[in-house]
């Protein structure tokens, strides 16, 4: 029998963007068991939300994540609007889609770059992050901030996008697409890239469902699940089809993200073209009283917020379930039986967001 050893992978590791530890039990170079150790960036956000009033909580929930921050405030606002029966103006719903999809593009480009970096393709990593700057620039132009936009509000949005900036968005998206046409084939077609990702970290469809996988991890295993198809915000008025791959390995998950970048650019274009005139914020009176669970499609998958109000300005309970949290049990399955050298690629391929997960 081979000798067993335990390797602490993280919390500080060159491939990890945020601190998390995986305790890997090895037999020679093969991982036979993996166990996550969390708690390195737990901030107690659920408690903070109870202490602030429900309007301030828009900005607290936005700070759960430093990558897809807008999605969190949007999900929170949608939940409060459901409880309070607020109807969001059409223009605000389209503006939410524009910022949400810009966030998805930059988040996917970020993780695709880190994926390239995880197997040592540093040039590709830099090219992808250079392309991502276009999106960050667009967000700065439309809101004054690159990541934490603070534009979502209960009842709509706080800022409008004027016609000249809409035209700028369309121009910049053209530029981005041209850049990606040159860069992305390296990630999709390169022999070395395929060698590192094809057949690595395989998650079969039934296992993905059983373990509760969400987002590109589930769609990479052939599960056609994308909450944008439920039609929240303005998605019901835009043409959209979920991206699904059936390989179930790291390559399939990466392919889903590559194709979703294009799909998101297309959604932003549609939303800009169909942007209706009208108000951007509906008046909100009173305090939330009731409970709901709201879900949206974040770049990493299903984002679920449970919100319970008691008729006062402070919420009774706020609970956030992040997609990375749901993807941790599938990750443990993927790691079992893999080679130690493949661990960084498998971990990065689920697009882990640890600050989200721990809140």
Partner 1 sequence: MLTNVTEVNPSNLHAEVFALQRKGHRFVTMTCSDLGDGFDVLYHFDLNYELRHLRLRLPLKEPLPSISDVFFAAVLIENEIKDMFGIDVQGMAIDYKGRFLLAEDAPRAPLLKTVGVPVDARIRPKQAPEGGQAS
Report yes or no: 301 and 4 within 8 Å, Cβ to Cβ: no
Shorter beta-carbon distance to partner 1: residue 158 or 209: 209
Shorter beta-carbon distance to partner 1: residue 108 or 333: 333
Q: Tell which one of 13, 15, 19, 46 touches partner 1 (CB under 8 A).
A: 46
Contacts of residue 120, Cβ cutoff 8 Å, sequence gap at least 6:
none
Contacts of residue 171, Cβ cutoff 8 Å, sequence gap at least 6:
none
Q: Tell which one of 57, 117, 302, 351 touches partner 1 (CB under 8 A).
A: 302
Q: Is residue 316 at the binding interface for partner 1, with CB under 8 A as the rule?
A: yes
d(CA 167, CA 272): 9
Q: Tell which one of 35, 170, 188, 341 touches partner 1 (CB under 8 A).
A: 35
d(CA 153, CA 66): 18
**Shortest gap between Cβ of 134 and partner 1 (angstroms)?**
33
Q: Tell which one of 66, 89, 242, 290 touches partner 1 (CB under 8 A).
A: 290
One symbol per residue from 150 to 189: x for binding partner 1 (CB under 8 A), - otherwise; what is it?
Answer: ----------------------------------------
Q: Is residue 286 at the binding interface for partner 1, with CB under 8 A as the rule?
A: no
Report yes or no: 94 and 275 within 8 Å, Cβ to Cβ: yes
Q: Is residue 211 at the binding interface for partner 1, with CB under 8 A as the rule?
A: yes
Q: Is residue 319 at the binding interface for partner 1, with CB under 8 A as the rule?
A: yes
Q: Provide DSSP, 97-136.
A: HHHHHHHHHHHHHHHHHHHHHHTT-HHHHHHHHHHHHHHH
Could you give the residue ranges of the DSSP H alpha helices within the chain?
A: 45-51, 57-62, 69-84, 90-118, 122-143, 163-189, 191-197, 205-210, 215-219, 250-273, 323-335, 343-349, 354-358
Q: Is residue 24 at the binding interface for partner 1, with CB under 8 A as the rule?
A: no
Binding site for partner 1 (CB under 8 A): 35-36, 38-39, 42, 44, 46-47, 82-83, 209-212, 225, 227, 229-230, 290-293, 295, 302, 304, 306, 308, 316-317, 319, 321, 325-326, 328-329, 358
């Amino acid at each position: 029998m081979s000798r067993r050893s335990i390797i602490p992978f993280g919390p500080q590791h060159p491939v990890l963007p945020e601190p998390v530890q995986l305790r890997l039990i090895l037999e020679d170079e093969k991982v036979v068991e993996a166990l996550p150790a969390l708690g390195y960036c737990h901030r107690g956000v659920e408690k903070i939300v109870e202490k602030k009033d429900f309007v301030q909580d828009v900005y607290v929930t936005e700070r759960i994540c430093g990558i897809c921050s807008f999605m969190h405030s949007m999900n929170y606002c949608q939940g409060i609007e459901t409880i309070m029966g607020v109807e969001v103006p059409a223009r605000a719903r389209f503006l939410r889609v524009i910022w949400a999809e810009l966030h998805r593009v930059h988040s996917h480009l970020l993780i695709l770059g880190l994926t390239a970096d995880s197997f040592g393709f540093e040039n590709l990593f830099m090219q992808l992050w250079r392309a991502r700057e276009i999106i960050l620039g667009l967000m700065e132009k439309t809101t004054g901030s690159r990541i934490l936009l603070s534009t979502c509000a209960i009842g709509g949005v706080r800022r409008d996008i004027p016609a000249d900036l809409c035209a700028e968005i369309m121009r910049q998206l053209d530029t981005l697409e041209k850049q990606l046409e040159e860069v992305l084939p390296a990630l999709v077609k390169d022999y070395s890239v395929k060698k590192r990702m094809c057949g690595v970290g395989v998650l079969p469809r039934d296992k993905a469902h059983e373990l509760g996988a969400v987002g590109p991890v589930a769609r990479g295993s052939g599960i056609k699940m994308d909450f944008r198809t439920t039609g929240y915000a303005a998605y019901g008025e835009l043409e959209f089809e979920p991206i699904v791959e059936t390989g179930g390995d790291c390559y399939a998950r990466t392919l889903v993200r590559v194709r979703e970048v294009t799909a998101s650019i297309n959604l932003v274009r549609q939303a800009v073209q169909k942007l209706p005139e009208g108000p951007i914020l509906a008046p909100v009176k009173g305090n939330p009283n009731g409970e709901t669970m709201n879900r949206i499609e974040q770049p990493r998958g299903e984002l679920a917020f449970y919100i319970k109000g008691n008729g006062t300005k402070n919420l009774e309970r706020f609970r956030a379930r992040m997609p990375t949290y749901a993807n941790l049990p599938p990750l443990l399955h993927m790691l079992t039986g893999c080679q130690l050298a493949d661990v960084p690629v498998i971990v990065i391929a689920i697009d882990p967001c640890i600050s989200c997960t721990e809140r």
